[in-house]
């Protein structure tokens, strides 16, 4: 039986970053994933019509971290892309995040920047303490904009009211008084030029790395020999749900190809806060810049059951996670990394940053 230095469960951003760093420092790695592909939720592939799609929902790379950007740039070149989103209210589409243009179009106003700031000041509902996502939204844009753009979307996405979610969820969406209609304002906003999967292939292309797909950690762990383990799946599953299930939100993705439609919607994503069972529609060609006579879109339907996609940030879940984290800290030779194992609403760049930090601080790898 081969003895590996590390067995890594999960070949998404967390697992692949750890594998790459450890292999480069001379460790022998076996990385497995229960899915038949690498890349985790960021996996992309060509659909039957030849369009590059993201089977697990749209993934747009953005970061303020020069270090993460430089690290990933070793494995891909990039296509400049700034994501834009429109949200439907009363049958019309408006820029989101809410900005000056949103206010003027929605209310038939002609505000300049100072006027937009004064408008928010007039409608906002000040809060002594910002604890929940409702506090965040009401304190910045007030009741009407909350109802038009946030409450319904959040109810659909999480099955919860804004007031039941930690502040960090709605705080992901800024409010602007200018005309900036980009969804993200990070310094680096790019898509991997040949796609995420190609980037992952390069990360894992190392003689010290062996990959086994369609392989479940729990089914094979007893038959494998490794000095240490890095687990990037759901932390409650690792401990066999000892303290009960840690809630994760799931999604169902409805993919559709439209032949002979070169462009279906004006921007990459259109959100539907108060209409339809789905939250948003994304058209992949905007993200990838691909040229094709047809187009492919995905609708996202939030679900309570199914594959775990989102940790659900609220205080009682955080308390349950802490109990699992205490078990994790006492588990000899096993390290937990990534969005599901750390139960953090991480973006891709945050997963990479956390994995780099873990390999350096905990596993003694010299800085990337």
Give the residues lining the site for ligand FAD (CB under 6 A): 9-15, 32-35, 40-42, 57-60, 216-218, 232-233, 251, 309, 338-340, 346-349, 351
**Selection from 120, 350, 26 nearest residue 111 by Cα:** 120
150 binds ligand UDP (CB under 6 A): yes
Packed helices 13-24 and 348-361: angle between N→C axes, nearest 10 degrees = 30
Binding flag, residue 68, ligand UDP (CB under 6 A): no
Asked if residue 281 has a cis previous peptide bond (ω within 30° of 0), the answer is: no
CB of 162 to ligand UDP, least distance (A): 7
Q: How far is the CB of 87 from ligand UDP (least distance, A)?
A: 5
For residues 57 and 159, which CB has a smaller minimum distance to ligand FAD in the complex? 57
Distance CA 57, CA 251 (A): 9
Question: Closest distance between ligand FAD and the C-beta of residue 216, in Å?
Answer: 4
Instruction: Give the nearest distance from C-beta 63 to ligand UDP in angstroms.
Output: 14
54 burial via Cβ count (<10 Å: 0-12, 13-18, 19+): buried
Residue bearing tokens 């409805």: 254
Which C-beta is closer to ligand FAD: that of 85 or that of 103?
A: 85
Contact flag: residue 87 with ligand UDP (CB under 6 A): yes
Decide: 64 and 43 in contact? Cβ < 8 Å. Answer: no
Say which entry of ligand FAD, ligand UDP, none residue 96 contacts (CB below 5 to 8 A, set by partner kind): ligand UDP
Which one of 18, 89, 170, 355 is in contact with ligand UDP (CB under 6 A)?
170
Virtual torsion, Cα 158, 164, 169, 173, nearest 10 deg? 100
Residue nearest to ligand FAD (CB): 40
Residue the block writes with tokens 């891709």: 348
How far is CA 215 from its chain centroid?
24
Does 248 interact with ligand UDP (rule: CB under 6 A)?
no
Determine which helix (DSSP H) or strand (DSSP E) holds 365, and give its type and residue range.
none
In 3-state terms, what secondary structure has residue 39? coil
Contact criterion met (CB below 8 Å) for 111 and 117: no
Which residues, 6 or more positions from 240, have their beta carbon under 8 angstroms from its beta carbon? none
In the complex, the smallest distance separating the C-beta of residue 100 from ligand UDP, rounded to whole angstroms, is 18
CB-nearer residue toward ligand UDP: 31 or 89: 89
Q: Which does 216 bind (CB under 5 to 8 A by kind): ligand FAD, ligand UDP, none?
A: ligand FAD
| Shortest reach from residue 284's CB to ligand FAD, in Å | 12
> Of the listed pieces 10-18, 30-38, 105-113, 152-160, which binds ligand UDP according to CB under 6 A?
152-160
Q: Which residues bind ligand UDP (CB under 6 A)?
A: 87, 96, 149-150, 153-154, 157, 169-170, 172-173, 271, 273
């Amino acid at each position: 039986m081969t003895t590996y230095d590390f067995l890594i469960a999960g070949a998404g951003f967390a697992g692949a970053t750890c594998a790459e760093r450890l292999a480069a420092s001379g460790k022998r790695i076996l990385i497995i994933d229960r899915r038949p592909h690498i890349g985790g939720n960021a996996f992309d592939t060509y659909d039957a019509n030849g369009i590059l799609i993201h089977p697990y929902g749209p993934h747009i790379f953005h970061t303020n971290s020069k270090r993460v950007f430089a690290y990933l740039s070793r494995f891909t070149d990039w296509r400049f892309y700034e994501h834009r989103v429109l949200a439907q209210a009363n049958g019309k589409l408006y820029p989101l995040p809410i900005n000056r243009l949103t206010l003027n179009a929605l209310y038939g106003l002609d505000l300049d920047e100072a006027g937009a700031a004064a408008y928010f000041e007039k409608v906002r509902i000040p809060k002594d303490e910002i604890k929940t996502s409702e506090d965040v939204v009401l304190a910045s844009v007030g009741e009407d904009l909350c109802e038009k753009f946030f409450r319904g979307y959040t109810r659909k996405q999480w099955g919860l009211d804004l007031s039941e979610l930690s502040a960090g969820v709605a705080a992901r969406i800024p409010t602007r008084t200018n005309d900036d209609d980009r969804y993200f304002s990070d310094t680096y906003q790019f898509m991997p030029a040949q796609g995420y999967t190609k980037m992952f292939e390069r990360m894992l292309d190392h003689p010290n790395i062996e990959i086994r797909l369609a392989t479940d950690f729990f089914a094979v762990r007893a038959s494998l020999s490794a000095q240490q383990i890095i687990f990037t799946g759901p932390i409650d599953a690792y401990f066999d749900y000892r303290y009960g299930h840690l809630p994760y939100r799931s999604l169902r993705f409805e993919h559709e190809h439209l032949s002979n439609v070169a462009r279906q919607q004006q921007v990459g994503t259109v959100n539907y806060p108060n209409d339809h069972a789905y939250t948003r529609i994304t058209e992949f060609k905007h993200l990838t810049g691909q040229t094709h006579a047809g187009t492919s879109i995905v609708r996202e339907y939030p679900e309570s059951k199914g594959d775990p996609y989102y940790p659900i940030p609220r205080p009682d879940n955080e308390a349950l996670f802490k109990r699992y984290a205490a078990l994790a800290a006492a588990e000899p030779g096993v390290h937990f990394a990534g969005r599901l194992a750390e139960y953090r609403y991480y973006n891709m760049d945050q997963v990479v940053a956390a994995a780099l930090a873990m390999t350096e601080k905990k596993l003694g790898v010299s800085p990337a």
